[in-house]
Amino acid sequence: MSISKISVVVVGAGPAGFYAADALIKKKLNCEIDIIDFLPTPYGLIRAGVAPDHQTTKKVIKSFEKTALNDSCHFFGNVHIGNEISISELKEIYDAIIIATGAESDSLLDIPGSSLPGVIGSASFVGWYNAHPNYINLNPNLETNNVIIIGNGNVAIDIARVLVKNRNEMAESDIPEYALSNIENSSIKDVFIFGRRGPIEAKFTNVELREMGELKDAVAIVRPDQLPLEVGSLSDAREQRLKEKNLKTLQEFSKNKITDARKRVHFPFWYKPVKILGTQKVEGIQMEKTFLNNGILESTGEYLEIECGLVIPAIGYRSRPVKGLPFNDTDFVISNDNGRVDMGIYAVGWIKRGPSGVISTNRPDGVLAANHIENDFRDGGSKPGRTALVSMLEKKNIKFVSFEGWKLIDKAEISGAISGAPRKKFEKIDDMLDVVFYK
């Protein structure tokens, strides 16, 4: 006996949302899956978070496209859940809601001066060089010799790399021209990636760290006296291998001289930020030397000050609450029990478990949500889903972008690309909507 259709809506068209849709399709349940995003474009952080020169990483969208083109799936872009349509309205029309809104904001750097102009969180900065419509007008001050990046994660590495690569090195990327020319014409000479802990504790992955040794105009600088001779023994064998590789890479970098290139990326370890200096805008930063005492970070009272016009805290992302759903203010995730928020409501990805891991780390969350839905709707669903959504959108006069609409945007971006770039991204939502509705 076939069960009645289960109507599912996925809020957020990033990797976590697509993995959840894919997991549902693979289960061959009788589902109708609508994927909603506030942007007219799908793919979330793949499009606006993964660095523009990491095009290979972006290839995962090919498999997400297959999911989107599955008969049971539909994309609704340019629809803002929370502003235009509430969660309670979605509850009325869908059997199951999967929240996949990611982590769009920055963790706060809570030190004096951190709200001065010239302090720009990594989420905004990465959005700026990726042409995310919310950040195109960020206008960061690149008229500075020194840029300070706080944090020892892959986002810090991405930002440093994009800031020192030259136009040729970015030729096959999809960085927008405004960001590329601002970087090219900037006075940046020294980028400092500060870690509050040491080289073994740093969260960089090795491929990303090694890339810092392959730059045309910049050299990676590490003080040899900051590197231990060996990693020591860790309980996790995979971690052990990663840390050993990182140490080896850093040891290679420590042989470099500051005169080896026009620009430098420094890796000072064991410094935590204590104060941003300046009155009207950032003029410098004060850092304090640290050490680990039985695993606890302690300060030495020894300070270092560096002049700079730009400070980028890359200290992790934070999810925003979704209106109408419980939020855990300590961990900055939707309150959930193994992905279950409430009957018929599930969370996946960074909003479920916090901002960590690589793209495919989101896949098991999708499988978990699909398992919950399979168990919760053994007798099928009862709510109208897509037809009710479309009439709600029409009633509210919301211009939604279908997957076919996104493909028009995609095609226009690809055909606008110049000299080796994969695409020329639209920067404004209105320009994307023009392509869909008026061309």
| Count of other CB atoms within 10 angstroms of residue 107 | 18
Pick 191 or 433: Cβ nearer ligand NAP = 191
Pick 133 or 316: Cβ nearer ligand NAP = 316
Site for ligand NAP contains 155 (CB under 6 A) = yes
55, 154, 240, 251: which one contacts ligand NAP (CB under 6 A)? 154
Site for ligand NAP contains 150 (CB under 6 A) = yes
Pick 3 or 108: Cβ nearer ligand NAP = 108
Q: Which amino acid is at 32?
A: E
17, 44, 118, 151: which one contacts ligand NAP (CB under 6 A)? 151
Site for ligand NAP contains 271 (CB under 6 A) = no
Site for ligand NAP contains 158 (CB under 6 A) = yes
Own/partner long-range contacts of 328-335 (Cβ < 8 Å, ≥24 apart) = 332/103, 334/99
Site for ligand NAP contains 304 (CB under 6 A) = no
Reduced to 3 states, what is the DSSP secondary structure of residue 337? strand
Q: How far apart are CA 365 and CA 371, in angstroms?
A: 10
For the chain, what's the residue count? 439
- Smallest distance from the beta carbon of 213 to ligand NAP, in angstroms? 16
Site for ligand NAP contains 285 (CB under 6 A) = no
* Beta-strand relationship, 218-221 and 73-76: unpaired
* Beta-strand relationship, 190-194 and 146-150: parallel
332: left (phi over 0), alpha (psi -120 to 50) or beta: left
Two structure tokens written together for 131? 């042409």
Q: How far apart are CA 423 and CA 414, in angstroms?
A: 4
Site string for ligand NAP, 316-355 (x = CB under 6 A): xx-------------------------------------x
Site for ligand NAP contains 205 (CB under 6 A) = yes
- Smallest distance from the beta carbon of 69 to ligand NAP, in angstroms? 27
Q: By CB under 6 A, which span of 72-80, 164-172, 356-364, 388-396 interacts with ligand NAP? A: 356-364
Site for ligand NAP contains 275 (CB under 6 A) = no
Q: Output the DSSP codes for 157-185.
A: HHHHHHHH--TTTTTTS---HHHHHHHHT
- Smallest distance from the beta carbon of 112 to ligand NAP, in angstroms? 13
Pick out residues in 225-264 that bind ligand NAP (CB under 6 A): none
Two structure tokens written together for 153? 């994660």
Pick out residues in 82-111 that bind ligand NAP (CB under 6 A): 109
Two structure tokens written together for 436? 């869909």
Residues 6+ apart with CB under 8 A from 381: 4, 5, 6, 7, 95, 96
152, 173, 246, 249: which one contacts ligand NAP (CB under 6 A)? 152
Two structure tokens written together for 330? 């300590």
Q: By CB under 6 A, which span of 65-73, 315-323, 330-338, 383-391 interacts with ligand NAP? A: 315-323
112, 228, 326, 357: which one contacts ligand NAP (CB under 6 A)? 357
Q: How far apart are CA 95 and CA 38, in angstroms?
A: 21
Q: Is-contact 197 269, C-beta < 8 A?
A: yes
Pick 121 or 339: Cβ nearer ligand NAP = 121
- Smallest distance from the beta carbon of 162 to ligand NAP, in angstroms? 11
If 0-12 CB within 10 Å is exposed, 13-18 middle and 19+ buried, where does residue 110 land? exposed
- Smallest distance from the beta carbon of 381 to ligand NAP, in angstroms? 35
Site for ligand NAP contains 203 (CB under 6 A) = yes
**Given the rule CB under 6 A, which residues bind ligand NAP?**
109, 150-156, 158, 195-197, 201, 203, 205, 208, 272-273, 314-317, 355-358
